[in-house]
Amino acid sequence: MYRDRDFDIGEFPRTVPYRDRHIPWQQLLSAHERDLAQDLELPTLLQAMGGDDEFLFEVARQAILSGLSNGTETILYRQETLRDCLTNSAAVRQLYSITVTAIERSKQRLWNMSSHYTSSLLHGAIGLLEALSEVLRQLRIVSESQVDRFKSEAFKNLFAMLIAELNDDYLGVIQNHLKELQFRKGVLLGAQLGEWNESMNLTLRNTPARKRNILRFLVKTPRTYTFQIAQEDVAGSRILSNMEHRGMSRVAIALAQSADHVLSFFRILRAELGFYICCLNLHDRLTVLGEPLCFPTPEPSSSRRFSFSGLYDVCLALQMKRKVVGNACNLDGKSLVAITGANQGGKSSFLRGIGLAQLMMQSGMLVGAEDFRAEICPALFTHYKREEDASMKSGKFDEELDRMSEIADEIVPNSTLLLNESFAATNEREGSEIAQQIVSALVEKRIKIFYVTHLYGFARQAFEQNSGDAMFLRAERQPDGVRTFKILEGEPLETSYGADLYREIFLVLVQKVQRA
């Protein structure tokens, strides 16, 4: 996932055990990340990417939420790798399955490696390395069969490393060492005598191989002395066992570290392949629905490039399980995009589609659009209206201002801010004035703003004072009141056609009463 470093998510599950209860993953996020997940409906996207696999769910979550720190180079690097994955999806899924097998096999042997006893540590490490060396061989075999089908730098480097470093000779040497470390012929230790004739510097020695030679009886060999511990000599057996443990400890620790190193390789490979498996899963889900997907074009930060065609709300499509309406717009050079128009006209879905596309692009993923080009931004914030509930310590309007204050403390130039019905908790005149002051200050600090609003006073003033850096869009409504869910360029209107919804709801009620 990165050219010069690893992507390691650690061992974080979707829920974290705390004593005898579990903490939902949303509570592990910062307040800003929780708002982002809620407002853009990220759980829907993550569920489509990871399914019921908690590990893949976590990979997708961390990749998306950390994606805003990626530069253009990393985004293009991942796109090149993802193209390979789309072309060779079966091979990529096979590689991922092999890494999962390695992790599952390791779980059966890690308990022994946690022991304080040298013999348990040693035999646990031997068992783990034996299991992992066989999986390494499988990885090498797949690499040899697939290397010519992949074109990306990431897979080329991975396959070259596996083929060069995991040849049969090397794996054979590993097996021989592991076989010797089982000490089926006993343990040979070297030692020195201390000042009081205690054993010092116990060192494990290689057991010399016995050569079959008919002349060995004619050759004078060095004199050796042996002794045996009687079976009933418990103290002597304990001393001898202690000497064996001391002599083998360094070897056991080194072997355990080697096993942990190989296991870390599989963990990181699983996480990195897991991200592309998530992308393949999402691609498959949306393709079945007939939705378009494209590789976006990332532009340098502060370039003020933002254009798209066929952009849609990925989460809405996943929830409705059918194709939804897409939109096209060229917002190059714009710092403020005000979106007004009819209620239930698709404004919120349009805004969510923009936020999701920005996150997906910067994560190196495909984007839900026919074409998408945008500048990368260092941070993405959302400020949506909230329904009043018992957990609120103050009124809705105070809560809105508190959240906006927190955003103002964290936001940096060239960030993107999505506002949805912000400051609507007060009257129209006061809300418009507050919105105008806050938006003007943020735009002056080079913050790009997308604002869905029914505050006509704010929208009208911004439209009349537009110096060319603002775009005004409107949800399309046909003369008969039908919503097309298209978002088109147009000046703000004083009405949001709430009467249409009233008539629609009233007619439904009348029909129910008549049927009753």
Please tell me the predicted confidence (pLDDT) of residue 123: 73
Least confident of 198-207, 432-441, 464-473, 477-486: 198-207
Please tell me the predicted confidence (pLDDT) of residue 121: 72
Please say if the pLDDT value at position 470 is more than 70. Answer: yes
For residue 159, give every residue at least 6 positions away whose Cβ sits within 8 Å of its Cβ, in sequence order, or none.
143, 144, 146, 147, 150
Q: How many CB atoms lie within 10 A of CB 424?
A: 17
Please say if the pLDDT value at position 301 is more than 70. Answer: yes
Please say if the pLDDT value at position 78 is more than 70. Answer: yes
DSSP 385: -
Percent of the chain with pLDDT over 90: 55
Architecture in CATH of 297-515: 3-Layer(aba) Sandwich (3.40)
Phi, psi at residue 318, to the nearest 5°? -65, -40
Mean pLDDT value of segment 93-108: 88
Least confident of 373-377, 392-396, 446-450: 392-396
Please tell me the predicted confidence (pLDDT) of residue 272: 96
Q: How confident is the model at residue 26 (pLDDT cuts 50, 70, 90)?
A: confident
Question: Residue 357's closest CA among 316, 416, 314?
Answer: 314
Mean pLDDT value of segment 244-263: 75
Please tell me the predicted confidence (pLDDT) of residue 421: 92
Residues 304, 469: Cα–Cα separation, whole Å = 10
SS (H, E, C) 242-279: HHHHHHHHHHHHHHHHHHHHHHHHHHHHHHHHHHHHHH
Please tell me the predicted confidence (pLDDT) of residue 507: 60
Mean pLDDT value of segment 247-257: 73
pLDDT per position as a tens digit, 271-286? 999 999 999 999 999 9
Residues 166, 172: Cα–Cα separation, whole Å = 10
Helices then strands, each counted (H, E), the chain: 16, 14
Residues 302, 416: Cα–Cα separation, whole Å = 11
Please say if the pLDDT value at position 355 is more than 80. Answer: yes
CA angle 61, 62, 66 (to 5 degrees): 120
Q: The pTM is what?
A: 0.84
Contact in structure between 201 and 192 (CB atoms under 8 Å): yes
Please say if the pLDDT value at position 513 is more than 70. Answer: no
Contact in structure between 492 and 472 (CB atoms under 8 Å): yes
Least confident of 64-68, 250-254, 485-489: 250-254
DSSP 367: B
Residues 293, 365: Cα–Cα separation, whole Å = 10
pLDDT per position as a tens digit, 131-182? 888 889 999 999 999 999 999 999 999 999 999 988 888 878 877 777 776 6
